[in-house]
């Protein structure tokens, strides 16, 4: 399948076909796609020190009022934490792609008001002014005859009106380096766990980019 065909067929592309901001990273993993898919579901917040540090700052206002959403449990799967924090699983192509997202006002100090959605259809249809729609995916491609995996993650953000787009743009300029660092560390944690569970000598680690 050509790369252009792969892109237009993703769940993320159907949910967020146009966007104002995008972030892309990838990692090559010496493990089969099934092992990488399992690691994606299992990797915990305790395996991402950088995530805990940076998100600890982000959720500090919630911690001050003892919000349960601001709590970190080192044994909690990171995807589970994301759902508890306000993200929703928006779609899935079993063992190939997972998409999660949220609707909110991230430029506000305490995160602003979030809008809950039941799934991908509600997320795509939402158009109330004053919000940013944020969605991210993980996409797995088998390589080396299925013995290894190319894991990609892409984050897209589309705002519901021009004022929100301007507010988000200012916010994005400030947090984009940290956002990218969190995504790269997430890929590295998935890679480490998948290769550890692959029962064999893994190739030297190829950093996520």
Mean pLDDT throughout 130-140?
97
pLDDT of residue 204: 46
Per-residue model confidence as pLDDT tens digits over 177-191? 988 999 999 999 999
Mean pLDDT of 132-159: 97
Mean pLDDT of the chain: 86
Q: Pick the more confident residue, 115 or 206.
A: 115
* Per-residue pLDDT tens digits for 39-79: 999 999 889 887 777 666 555 444 444 555 556 678 999 99
Give the whole-angstrom CA distance, residue 45 versus residue 79.
9
Give the pLDDT score at 3: 43
Give the pairing of strands 97-104 and 132-143. antiparallel
């Amino acid at each position: 399948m050509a790369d252009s065909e792969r892109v237009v067929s993703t769940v993320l592309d159907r949910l967020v076909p146009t966007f104002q901001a995008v972030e892309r990273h990838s990692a090559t993993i010496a493990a089969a796609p099934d092992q990488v898919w399992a690691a994606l579901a299992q990797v915990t917040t305790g395996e991402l020190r950088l995530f805990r540090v940076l998100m600890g700052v982000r959720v500090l206002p919630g911690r001050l009022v003892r919000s349960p959403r601001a709590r970190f449990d080192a044994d909690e799967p990171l995807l589970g934490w994301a759902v508890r924090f306000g993200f929703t699983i928006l779609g899935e192509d079993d063992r190939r792609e997972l998409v999660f997202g949220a609707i909110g006002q991230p430029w506000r100090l305490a995160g602003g008001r979030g809008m809950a959605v039941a799934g991908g259809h509600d997320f795509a249809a939402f158009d109330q002014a004053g919000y940013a729609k944020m969605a991210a995916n993980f996409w797995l491609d088998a390589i080396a005859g299925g013995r290894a995996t190319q894991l990609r993650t892409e984050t897209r953000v589309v705002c519901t009106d021009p004022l929100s787009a301007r507010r988000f743009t200012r916010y994005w300029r400030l947090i984009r380096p940290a956002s990218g660092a969190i995504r790269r560390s997430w890929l590295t944690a998935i890679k480490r766990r998948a290769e550890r569970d692959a029962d064999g000598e893994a190739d030297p680690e190829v950093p996520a980019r």
